[in-house]
A and B are shown apart, each in its own frame.
Chain A
Amino acid sequence: MTTTAKWRTWLLYAGVAAVVAYCLAPFYWMLVSSLRRTSDIFDTSLIPSSVSFANYRALFDPAQGFTRALLNSLIVAGITTALALLLATFTAYAMARLEFRFKRLVLTLIIATSMFPVVSIVVPLLKLFTDIGWINTYQAMIVPSMSFVLPLAVWNLTTFFRQMPEELEQAAMIDGCTRGQAFRKIIIPIAAPGIFTTAIITFIAAWNEFLIALTMTNKPSMQTAPVAISKFTGATTYETPFGSQMAAGVLVTVPLVVMVLVFQRRIVAGLTAGAAK
């Protein structure tokens, strides 16, 4: 190996290390801070002097209402994802397999809605939901979330369906299946991984939603986890309880991180499906 080649290899390793450090350092800081004792929360050493789970215990104190917030998040994100997938599967199938007039226009419109500023729909919906008494209900969070989750799911699934060989369903239809049967018996099972990937991406998007959940609720018992955590107040009024906020942040993020680590290949495929044609 020549000297320049060696240098290049080292440079590459340094680059890899830099990228990994850049991505992980703040996350690591959240993890470490959540494990510090309240007394040394302002400690800036890289490793906590003594590991404490006090922050986590404080979190599940019923007075915090954090368990309820987690449950709310799970319900809102779960139902949003399920509804979006159900509708998006049919639409995406039509987009990928059927030829019809205005197809491009319809797809463009659907994708365009995902770029919509959420606040533009939140303002009028807040007024509507106030009038019909929907404030502090799950549906008041689920319905507006569909505005960005549904286009995301349609777009993702369309690219997945396009990747699947058309011959399979054609063969099934020659064998006497109707299009509906071919769809149920052939397409859905083969598309399951794609649908699953879309479900993860959709779920993460819905789980991360903040603006809608913040605006549509004012009762602490109905707040989703991100909203509840942002409103944590400590025992004293003028000190933000960073320890328990970090612990809550870890708890809200870790399920997503685990999902990401387990299904990283698929998630990358799903996220880049539209960009790298």
Chain B
Amino acid sequence: MVDTKIPPGTAADGPAGAAGGRAGQPAAPVKGSRRAWATAASGRTAALLVSPTLLVLTIVVLYPTIMALRESLYGPKGLDPKTGFISTTEPFVGLQNYADIFGAAGDRFWNAFWNTTFFTVVTVGLETLIGVAMALIMHRAFSGRALIRASILIPWAVPTAISGLLWRWIFNSNGVANAILGHQVLWTTEGFHAKVAVIIAEVWKTSPFIGLLVLAGLQVIPKEVYEAARIDGAGPLGQFRRITLPLVKPALLVAVLFRCLDALRMFDLPYILVGAQKNSVETLSMLAQNEASNVRFGPAAAYAVILFLYVFLIALGFVRLLGADVVGDGGSPRKKKSNSKRRRALGPDSAEVSA
């Protein structure tokens, strides 16, 4: 810690929270004591600074969500029996749209549901394996690290829609994929191979990203830990299993969570690579979008609500069961105190997290 000119014994060195309630008092300009800033004035400033963002998010996220919930209870505009014209209002149908999902429109829904789940499990699984392997290689490579880092960012920077087209071209019946395989596969037509095409394209685009996040996690592991392990006689495999994996776990968990949630809403890639309304690759997002663009807002909203709940449950599961620390705040108030030191003392802190 850098020495400050403030004499010892001021509020700074006391337990956090000591200065918490002193409203109106000028904030003690003391390092290491965040609580000293927590005056009524800073609360007001914070409210002022945070409210625009919250307002915008309320308008673009909360309000549409409530609208979707409401919309999912309404049916399509029908013919008005009195006038013979299409009625201007949508009839309230209660839970009919949801009932249809498990009944009349069930086949298409369950197909999309399983496609979404299948894509998520398989792509995230493969991405994690490839990503971790990439990270380990990058971590070892001292020469050429800049080259790798630059090239790893390229799949990430290619817009998903463009990569959909690119892979569509590669998987063309006369394309390079078949030329390499020496075998004619109609990749982008209906069937299991269409799923494989989507998975390959998705894994290409996103595993470097996992690699990047894991690499960042690897780089904060202090070398001393490995030295100690070597002295204790741990082989490379033992070091990986006992040190690397547990220490990199927080970063990996967050990366996998983000990738899962991203894969659950997959849209662009199957839509462009194979096409809309293709049974073998239709995801829940594609189904909802397709219904909405065909002006069947009620069912579309119902699909969207179900997808939302699905995503929410998975996220909750990650945070609750696996303890993914998404906010990056450490979690418990005790850890929060050491937050400002975190940047400087990376190693010991991450060791503490995994302990």
Contact = CB atoms under 8 A, between A and B. Distances in A.
B60 A22 contact: no
Interface stretch (A48-56, A57-65, A184-192, A267-275): A267-275
Given A98-B37, A117-B285, A268-B149, A15 B71 contact: no
B255 A275 contact: yes
B54 interface: yes
A35 interface: no
A210 B267 contact: yes
B274 interface: no
Given A99-B42, A210-B268, A211-B289, A230 B165 contact: yes
B212 A30 contact: no
A226 B34 CA distance: 46
Given A210-B267, A211-B267, A276-B217, A88 B151 contact: no
Nearest to B167: A26
Nearest to B258: A115
A123 B297 contact: yes
Contact of A275 (B50, B151, B176, B216): B216
Interface string A104-136: 101111111101111111111111100000000
A204 B157 contact: yes
A138 to B, nearest CB: 15
Given A29-B176, A119-B288, A120-B307, A104 B327 contact: yes
A131 B276 CA distance: 25
Chain A interface SS verdict (over half): helix
B351 interface: no
A33 interface: yes
B307 to A, nearest CB: 5
A47 interface: no
A163 B343 contact: yes
Which of A19, A88, A95, A146 has the largest count of B CB atoms less than 10 A from its CB? A19
Interface residues of A, number: 102
A95 B34 CA distance: 12
B169 interface: yes
A271 B206 CA distance: 13
A126 B292 contact: yes
Contact of B61 (A121, A227, A249): A121
A6 interface: no
A88 B56 CA distance: 11
B350 to A, nearest CB: 7
Interface stretch (B79-87, B136-144, B190-198, B224-232): B136-144
Interface residues of B, number: 116
Nearest to A277: B328
Interface in B103-158: 134, 137-138, 140-141, 144, 146-158
A151 B57 contact: yes
Nearest to B68: A124
Contacts of B42: 98-100
Interface in A165-189: 166-167, 170-171, 173-174, 179
Given A27-B155, A119-B307, A22 B52 contact: no
Contacts of A99: 34-35, 37-38, 42
Contact of A268 (B27, B176, B212): B212
A147 B29 contact: no
B168 to A, nearest CB: 8
B65 A267 contact: no
A101 B43 contact: yes
5 contacts: A19-B137, A30-B169, A113-B57, A121-B68, A215-B293
Interface of A: 12, 15-16, 18-20, 22-24, 26-27, 29-30, 33, 42, 44, 87-88, 90-91, 93-95, 97-101, 103-104, 106-113, 115-128, 143-144, 146-147, 150-151, 154, 159, 162-163, 166-167, 170-171, 173-174, 179, 204, 207-208, 210-211, 214-215, 226-227, 229-230, 240, 242, 245-246, 249, 252-253, 256-257, 259-261, 264-265, 267-268, 271-272, 274-277
Interface of B: 2, 4, 27, 29, 31, 34-35, 37-38, 42-43, 45-47, 49-50, 52-54, 56-57, 59-61, 64-65, 67-68, 71, 134, 137-138, 140-141, 144, 146-170, 172, 174-176, 179, 204, 208-209, 211-213, 215-217, 219-220, 250-251, 254-255, 258, 261, 264-265, 267-268, 271-272, 284-285, 288-289, 291-293, 297, 300-301, 304-305, 307-308, 311, 315, 325-329, 339-340, 342-343, 346, 349-350
Given A15-B137, A246-B166, A252-B159, 4 more contacts: A29-B166, A44-B175, A127-B71, A275-B254
